[in-house]
């Protein structure tokens, strides 16, 4: 898959290290997601007063909004260790067994992409979440025996971009559910100013606002754009990030005023020009654009849907009037026939 500057997912392990240095350590420093922060703050304080681990928590929403950051904050506030893994990385019960038995009292186990856990791992996890014990089978056939292994009381924090893909038995074992939404421009601007202070980058209010408008409501993208603009400013403007410098830097990177890149515009253009505005199925768009279906569904569509450029119908994707105006194309008259009418 191509590396997109406006992709909400991490594009390299080096970038993951970079973002880790920008993570706020406490909820007081966490910007945005006001309702989630308030509810989580109450749950954490209640657990601390009772001297108990936090209930198992599930964070769901688009990628890049801070689910991992909140897991680290939970561990920090509870004064416990955090162990991180992901659904696809757990293939055998032995992999999970090793992790669970090494957890201490009150420790946090963070599983990213938890909706991608294999069925056998998910079932192995149920008694660990409910009763803090697991049944481990050793040997095979007539020599097989089950060993009951007690676990320390821990907190499982799951993160997913597809809450609907979680099985009901797994979903019901979480006591806390938090939905993360896209950020407002003013919240992203505050995040950019905070990150700039940590990076010792000189940026003014108009410069941070220019970056925030292009960040697609996602802190991870905002920090990535800031990094690119900082490099541009160091070479072209002695390190000073102004609105003009931010515009020039992001124009060079192919990111327009709305945060759309070449793939976004091709997506809209294909619906309008190739499929007469739609409706068209995502599989047909995938074949025409030579992009994977998951890329379009998870990384292109969410922002375009949020901005109202496209609509999902039972028959497929349809371009809205704003998409025609964005591409400077004539808007068809209402009731005009489409390719599939």
Q: What is the pLDDT of residue 125?
A: 92
Q: pLDDT over 70 for what percent of the chain?
A: 94
Q: Which residue has the higher pLDDT, 142 or 315?
A: 315
Q: Are residues 133 and 170 in the same domain?
A: yes
Residue 272 lies in a domain: yes
Residue 116 lies in a domain: yes
- Give the model confidence (pLDDT) of 278-301 as tens digits: 899 999 999 999 988 888 887 888
Q: What is the pLDDT of residue 9?
A: 80
- pLDDT at residue 94 tops 70: yes
Q: What is the pLDDT of residue 187?
A: 96
Helix H segments across 32-85? 34-50, 67-78
Q: Are residues 218 and 94 in the same domain?
A: no
Interatomic CA distance for residues 337 and 117, integer angstroms:
45
Residue 7 lies in a domain: no
Interatomic CA distance for residues 228 and 250, integer angstroms:
8
Q: Are residues 221 and 114 in the same domain?
A: no
- Give the model confidence (pLDDT) of 25-48 as tens digits: 999 999 999 999 999 999 999 999
- Residue 333 neighbours by CB under 8 Å, 6+ apart: none
Cα separations in angstroms, 320 against 87, 267, 275, 308, 314: 36, 13, 13, 7, 15
pLDDT band at 302 (very low <50, low <70, confident <90, very high): confident
Of 221, 252, 283, the last residue of a domain is 252
Give the number of domains in the chain. 3
Residue 67 lies in a domain: yes
Of 227, 252, 277, the last residue of a domain is 252
Of 152, 179, 206, the last residue of a domain is 179
- Show which residues are catalytic: 67-68, 112, 161, 220
- Residue 50 neighbours by CB under 8 Å, 6+ apart: none
Residue 285 lies in a domain: yes
3-state class (DSSP) for residue 137? strand
Residue 73 lies in a domain: yes
- Give the CATH number, domain containing residue 207: 1.10.8.60
Residue span of the structural domain in which 129 resides: 33-179
Q: Are residues 106 and 239 in the same domain?
A: no
Nearest by Cα to 84 from 10, 158, 8: 158
- Give the CATH number, domain containing residue 311: 1.10.10.10
Q: Are residues 45 and 147 in the same domain?
A: yes
Q: Are residues 50 and 151 in the same domain?
A: yes
Cα separations in angstroms, 72 against 51, 137, 177, 250, 292: 19, 33, 17, 31, 32
Q: Is 262 left (phi over 0), alpha (psi -120 to 50) or beta?
A: alpha
Stretch 173-202: mean pLDDT: 94
Residue 332 lies in a domain: no
Q: What is the pLDDT of residue 339?
A: 44
- Give the model confidence (pLDDT) of 231-281 as tens digits: 999 998 888 999 999 999 999 998 998 889 989 999 999 999 999 898 999
Residue 205 lies in a domain: yes
Q: Are residues 63 and 173 in the same domain?
A: yes
- pLDDT at residue 2 tops 60: no
């Amino acid at each position: 898959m191509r590396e997109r500057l406006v992709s909400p997912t991490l594009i390299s392990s080096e970038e993951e290290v970079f973002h880790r240095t920008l993570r706020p350590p406490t909820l007081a420093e966490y910007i945005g997601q006001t309702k989630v922060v308030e509810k989580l703050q109450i749950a954490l304080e209640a657990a601390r007063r009772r001297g108990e681990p936090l209930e198992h928590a599930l964070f769901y929403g688009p990628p890049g909004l801070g689910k991992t950051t909140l897991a680290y904050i939970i561990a920090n506030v509870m004064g416990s260790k955090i162990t991180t893994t992901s659904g696809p990385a757990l293939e055998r019960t032995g992999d999970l067994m090793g992790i669970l038995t090494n957890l201490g009292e009150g420790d946090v186990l963070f599983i990213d992409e938890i909706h991608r856990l294999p069925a056998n791992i998910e079932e192995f996890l149920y008694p660990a979440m409910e009763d803090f014990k697991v049944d481990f089978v050793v040997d095979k056939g007539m020599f097989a025996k089950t060993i009951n292994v007690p676990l320390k009381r821990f907190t499982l924090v799951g993160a997913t971009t597809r809450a609907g893909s979680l099985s009901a038995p797994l979903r019901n074992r979480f006591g806390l559910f938090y939905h993360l939404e896209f950020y407002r421009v003013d919240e992203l601007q505050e995040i950019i100013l905070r990150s700039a202070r940590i990076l010792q980058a000189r940026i003014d209010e108009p410069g941070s606002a220019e970056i925030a408008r292009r960040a697609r409501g996602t802190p991870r993208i905002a920090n990535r754009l800031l990094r690119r603009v900082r490099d541009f400013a160091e070479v072209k403007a002695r390190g000073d990030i102004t609105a003009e410098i931010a515009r020039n830097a992001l124009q060079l990177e192919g990111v327009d005023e709305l945060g759309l890149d070449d793939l976004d515009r091709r997506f809209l253009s294909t619906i309008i020009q190739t499929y007469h505005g739609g409706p068209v199925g995502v599989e047909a768009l995938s074949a025409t654009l030579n992009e994977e279906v998951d890329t379009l569904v998870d990384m292109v569509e969410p922002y375009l849907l949020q901005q109202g450029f496209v609509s999902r119908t039972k028959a497929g994707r349809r371009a809205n009037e704003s998409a025609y105006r964005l591409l400077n194309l004539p808007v068809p008259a209402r009731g005009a026939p489409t390719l599939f009418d």
